[in-house]
Amino acid sequence: MDVERFGYIAKAAGGDRIRANQISRQIGELERFFGKGLRRKEGKLAKLNDEGAELAEITKNFFRRLEEFQARLDGRRPSVVVGAGQAYIEMFLIPKLEMIKKGSGDIGVSLRNMRSNQILEALDTESIDVGIISDTKKLKPRFKRCKLLSFGYELIVPTKWASRVNAKNPLSSIFELPFATLEGSGELRTTIEEFATKEGRALLPELNCTSLGQIATAIRSGVCCGILPEYLVDQNNLSDVERFKSGRLSSLKRTISLVWSPVSPLLKPYMEDVAESLRRAFQRVT
């Protein structure tokens, strides 16, 4: 499992050659047992191949189930693992954590910041119990789903600049005003870049951010305008700003849902309450 987490045998061993040899020997024993190679070379370093990574995931889940079994024997309550995007964790889950725990029978809650594709994979391998993902994602029939929230995106501009926004084409303000957006190649950034290309304009953000929360802070500080999901504006109670809708952002409209997989016997008595508590955590904004 350490090799999977660190990527390479040498890194998992912390640079200790003796430890690295021990790990290699243990993997070799597994390869002889299964009659299949579990490693591959990448340059001078060795790492797990696809079969090795799959076995590591199986092993991790096996030990997790053993821990849950021991917890049940000890009379301890289980812990539910929730995978969600950073904005959902910061805006809804952490502020409502006390309510979620109380409504779920006071079980433990672990939060993991994950992208949608990671959540789907983690649900499939049962390394998380619950995920929050877009309804556009396809699910296997065995998963349960309930709607949490629907939202669109808006251009948010500090009030001091509101008079400079073109009412007919408000999104064009991102070329005239200091503008903050997400870096990378996500859906929001891609949509904005496609708009810039259609307008024949260069996209030159004043600020490239790694989270929506950073964009909200820049807007609140009055140093930039930005595009944010409606729920984030509502939850942050942004003041001294003007909100502008644009049909150019319609492709970003989303409905997110709570998704959960078959769970361990220890969690089964709690899961319906867990799902309801998480649903209520998102209920304020609809």
Sketch the domain layout of the chain as residue ranges: 2-60, 77-151+254-281, 153-252
Q: Would you mind telling me the total number of residues written for the chain in this entry?
A: 286
pLDDT band of 23, cuts 50, 70, 90: confident
Under 8 Å CB-to-CB from 139, ≥6 apart: which residues? 120, 145, 259
Assess if CATH 2.40.30.10 describes domain 77-151+254-281: no
Q: Express each pLDDT in 156-192 by its tens digit.
A: 999 999 999 998 999 999 999 999 999 988 888 999 9
Percent of the chain clearing pLDDT 70 (strictly above): 87
Does residue 58 carry a pLDDT above 50?
yes
- Note the pLDDT of residue 32: 87
pLDDT band of 141, cuts 50, 70, 90: confident
Q: What is the mean pLDDT of residues 112-121?
A: 89
pTM, two decimal places = 0.69
- Note the pLDDT of residue 194: 93
- Note the pLDDT of residue 46: 79
Tokens of 222: 């009055």
Tokens of 25: 């020997």
Query: Among the CATH numbers 3.40.190.10, 3.20.20.70, 3.40.50.300, 3.90.1490.10, which is that of 153-252?
Result: 3.40.190.10
Q: Based on the number of CB atoms within 10 Å of its own CB, is 213 exposed (0-12), middle (13-18) or buried (19 or more)? A: middle
Q: What is the mean pLDDT of residues 120-141?
A: 85
Q: Express each pLDDT in 206-237 by its tens digit.
A: 999 998 989 999 999 999 999 999 998 887 77
- Note the pLDDT of residue 275: 92
Q: What is the mean pLDDT of residues 45-53?
A: 80
- Note the pLDDT of residue 111: 94
Q: What is the mean pLDDT of residues 242-270?
A: 87
- Note the pLDDT of residue 2: 59
- Note the pLDDT of residue 268: 79
Say if 77-151+254-281 and 153-252 have the same CATH topology: yes
Q: Which CATH architecture has domain 2-60?
A: Orthogonal Bundle (1.10)
pLDDT band of 286, cuts 50, 70, 90: very low
pLDDT band of 41, cuts 50, 70, 90: confident
- How does the average pLDDT of the chain come out, rounded? 85
